[in-house]
Amino acid sequence: ATKKYILAIESSCDDTSAAVLCHTNVLSNVVATQEIHKQYGGVVPELASRAHQQNIVPVVHQALAKANIDKKELSAIAFTRGPGLMGSLLVGTSFAKSLALGLNVPLIEVNHMEAHILAHFIEDENKPQPTFPFLAMTISGGHTQIVKVTDHFTMEVLGETLDDAVGEAFDKSAKLMGLPYPGGPLVDKYAKLGNPNAFDFPKPKVDGLNFSFSGLKTSILYFLQRETQKNPKFVEENINDICASVQHTILDILMEKLQMAVDQTGIKQVAIGGGVAANSGIRARLKEAEETLGWQTFIPKFEYCTDNAAMIGIVGYLKFEKGKFTDQSVAAKARYAI
Ligand code: KG4
Ligand code: ZN
């Protein structure tokens, strides 16, 4: 059989990305991260759409060049239809539709949240893959979900955040401490040097497997205001302990819900993804759960955890194999449930 090459495009938030896959192998995965948002302390949708518009053609060219593939060899074009920022999604969607039309190859729409999960099936000889059924927890600046995955295309959301995503909880806490955006990696860094039990923050009471992080942000705000009034240098002098305590609280919340999901379903394979999967604390907690609770845990390579087109490409390939194509009337969807 001839080899199938899929070009994939991701533009749901602030990263413009294109990848070329040959079946489940990633030949290239180019990501243009938009630096412009840093100075605003968060993603500005209007600026994101414009940057996608500028980046998309060069990024696709680079992905093809790195894969050493001519566009005429492509078997299909996969793209992120949603969920995400509408203006951002429109750029990738329109580009993918036009290219598929021009090359006369099938078009394949991909749900971004499913892609974060199916990223676990990207070929990586160093990594074992989960087997069905498994639990997937997607944790990033935009998402917080626990999903039961029965097969590639049968997924059920068991719980999700009712307000902020977990990455936002990290970033907003960091901002309150005066750290630059995105603060998550810095909280992780300082937390390693601090005492996780130095300060107590209340955990939210949320039923079932849903999450809430907005209350935590508020309690950190009041805590810091109170302490800084007594000692203006409080944050500076205690940054390690504050970060360790905040991170500890966030990880407790995540691990408690994961434990509940495992108990409810009896499934002990736990796969995580999203930018927050880079956190050293969550990695340590999962390792611990392997030893004490007999879980099997899975974390993809970091470049497949954060937003990237390779994960869109793996879904593209799996859908291609099943003949799950999309017609040219498809439109982007800002809200798009799994
Ligand atoms: O997946 P991602 O790159 O983009 C989306 O939000 O979709 O995730 C970025 C998020 C940010 O909130 C960032 O602060 C967080 O992941 N993050 C971390 C770490 N590395 C990235 N949070 C905690 N610890 C880390 N080491
Ligand atoms: Zn994402």
* Residue of 170, 283, 302, 307 best suited for mutating to test ligand 1, as the one with most atoms within 8 Å of CB: 170
pLDDT in tens, 246-262: 999 999 999 999 999 99
Atom number of ligand 1 nearest to Cα 141 = 6
Q: DSSP assignment of 96-141, as one string? A: HHHHHHHHT--EEEEEHHHHHHHGGGS--TTS----SSEEEEEESS
Atom number of ligand 1 nearest to Cα 12 = 7
CATH number at 285 reads: 3.30.420.40
Looking at the structure, do residues 108 and 173 belong to the same domain, yes or no?
no
Does a structural domain hold residue 200?
Answer: yes
Check: CB of residue 138 under 8 Å from CB of residue 147. Answer: yes
Does a structural domain hold residue 189?
Answer: yes
What integer pLDDT is reported at residue 66 of this predicted model? 98
Give the rounded percent of residues in the chain with a pLDDT score beyond 70.
100
Picking from 270, 262, 266, the residue whose alpha carbon sits closest to that of residue 286 is 270
* Residue of 13, 17, 140 best suited for mutating to test ligand 1, as the one with most atoms within 8 Å of CB: 140
Q: What is the mean pLDDT of residues 3-14?
A: 96
184 is an annotated ligand-binding site residue? yes
Check: CB of residue 130 under 8 Å from CB of residue 296. Answer: yes
Looking at the structure, do residues 107 and 226 belong to the same domain, yes or no?
no
Q: What is the mean pLDDT of residues 178-189?
A: 95
Number of domain units in the chain: 2
Atom number of ligand 1 nearest to Cα 165 = 12
Give the rounded percent of residues in the chain with a pLDDT score beyond 90.
93
Question: Distance between CA 287 and CA 297 in Å, rounded?
Answer: 8
Q: 336 C-alpha to center of ligand 2: Å?
A: 13
Looking at the structure, do residues 243 and 311 belong to the same domain, yes or no?
no
Peptide bond into 182 cis (omega under 30): yes
Radius of gyration for the chain, computed over Cα atoms and rounded to the nearest angstrom: 21
**Chain centroid to CA 26:** 18
Question: Distance between CA 116 and CA 96 in Å, rounded?
Answer: 20
The pLDDT-based confidence of 37 (bands split at 50, 70, 90) is confident
Among the bound ligands, the one closest to the CA of 190: 1
Looking at the structure, do residues 132 and 219 belong to the same domain, yes or no?
yes
Integer angstrom CA distances of residue 254 from 168, 194, 210, 231: 14, 20, 10, 32
Considering only CA atoms, which residue is closest to atom 22 of ligand 1? Answer: 184
pLDDT in tens, 191-223: 999 999 999 999 999 999 999 999 999 999 999
What integer pLDDT is reported at residue 89 of this predicted model? 98
Does a structural domain hold residue 193?
Answer: yes
Looking at the structure, do residues 173 and 107 belong to the same domain, yes or no?
no
Looking at the structure, do residues 256 and 152 belong to the same domain, yes or no?
yes
Instruction: Spell out the residues 6+ positions from residue 76 whose beta carbon is closer than 8 angstroms to its own.
Output: 4, 6, 7, 100, 105, 106, 107, 108, 316, 320, 325
55 is an annotated ligand-binding site residue? no
Does a structural domain hold residue 226?
Answer: yes
Question: Distance between CA 197 and CA 236 in Å, rounded?
Answer: 18
116 is an annotated ligand-binding site residue? yes
Number of helices and strands in the chain (H, E): 10, 10
Does a structural domain hold residue 333?
Answer: no
Among the bound ligands, the one closest to the CA of 280: 1
Any residues with Cβ below 6 Å from ligand 1, and which? 13, 140-142, 167, 170-171, 182, 184-185, 188, 274-276, 278-279, 306-307
Looking at the structure, do residues 171 and 86 belong to the same domain, yes or no?
no
Q: 72 C-alpha to center of ligand 1: Å?
A: 36
Q: 83 C-alpha to center of ligand 2: Å?
A: 9
Atom number of ligand 1 nearest to Cα 278 = 26
Looking at the structure, do residues 162 and 278 belong to the same domain, yes or no?
yes
Looking at the structure, do residues 161 and 94 belong to the same domain, yes or no?
no
Instruction: Spell out the residues 6+ positions from residue 202 whose beta carbon is closer than 8 angstroms to its own.
Output: 215, 216, 219
Does a structural domain hold residue 275?
Answer: yes
Q: 15 C-alpha to center of ligand 1: Å?
A: 13
**The length of the chain, given as a count of residues:** 338
Does a structural domain hold residue 331?
Answer: no
Report whether pLDDT(314) > 80.
yes
Does a structural domain hold residue 246?
Answer: yes
Report whether pLDDT(125) > 90.
no
Q: What tokens were used for 256?
A: 């408690």
User: Which of 90-94, 105-109, 121-125, 230-234 comes out lowest in average pLDDT?
Assistant: 121-125
What integer pLDDT is reported at residue 1 of this predicted model? 65
Looking at the structure, do residues 114 and 196 belong to the same domain, yes or no?
no
Report whether pLDDT(9) > 70.
yes
Looking at the structure, do residues 41 and 98 belong to the same domain, yes or no?
yes
Q: 125 C-alpha to center of ligand 1: Å?
A: 25
Picking from 55, 137, 46, the residue whose alpha carbon sits closest to that of residue 86 is 46
Q: 264 C-alpha to center of ligand 1: Å?
A: 28
Check: CB of residue 199 under 8 Å from CB of residue 186. Answer: no
pLDDT in tens, 272-304: 999 999 999 999 999 999 999 999 999 999 999
Residue 106, domain extent: 5-120+305-322
Beta pairing class for 5-10 and 15-22: antiparallel
Looking at the structure, do residues 312 and 204 belong to the same domain, yes or no?
no
